[in-house]
Structure 1
């Protein structure tokens, strides 16, 4: 599989495991339990999680063999944003916002400049 464009091949996967049984859906379509022999979930920090399905060779199954499925759900940005914001020195942020060439004189322009500055820092600019 070509890994250069993960967005085009990403799928939404939901697994509900109970005891020795698991119900699996891919993009909202239920996979028959007899079609999957095993599955594993792997997630390395900084990379997209992967679900590896080991499928049984069944005659009426829509697919057979092995399929690599990338989980498309994005993680909650809240915790990462909190860590980022905790690291911001308020004095440095204020100085940077006041020095911006796009700082206006209208209401809330300082807040807008600070938010723009934070976005730029978050993007590494």
Structure 2
């Protein structure tokens, strides 16, 4: 609902997703897939559902219509990374890296294995 003039700005959105591809329609008009790099859908009980389209940087594409716009800075990953790294047991990391089947024999292979292991742990793998 548009709070400024009381008119309803609800739109019909249809998303058909399969694998890594999604077709998006707004009020029956198909959105060019190259103009959207991501989307998210959320719904809080008692409120209208929201669809957030992350627009790709396309110089020739023009969007029209009303939107709620929020501008946010990406959080600095440094503090979270520091907390994660502080919690790592060096002995467990070395054991895990040395036991990796992809551990190579070339220079810096142990460092590469440790970084790969840390990445997997960070992603919960």
TM-score by length of 2: 0.49
Structure showing greater relative contact order (alpha-carbon pairs closer than 8 Å, 6 or more residues apart): 1
TM-score by length of 1: 0.49
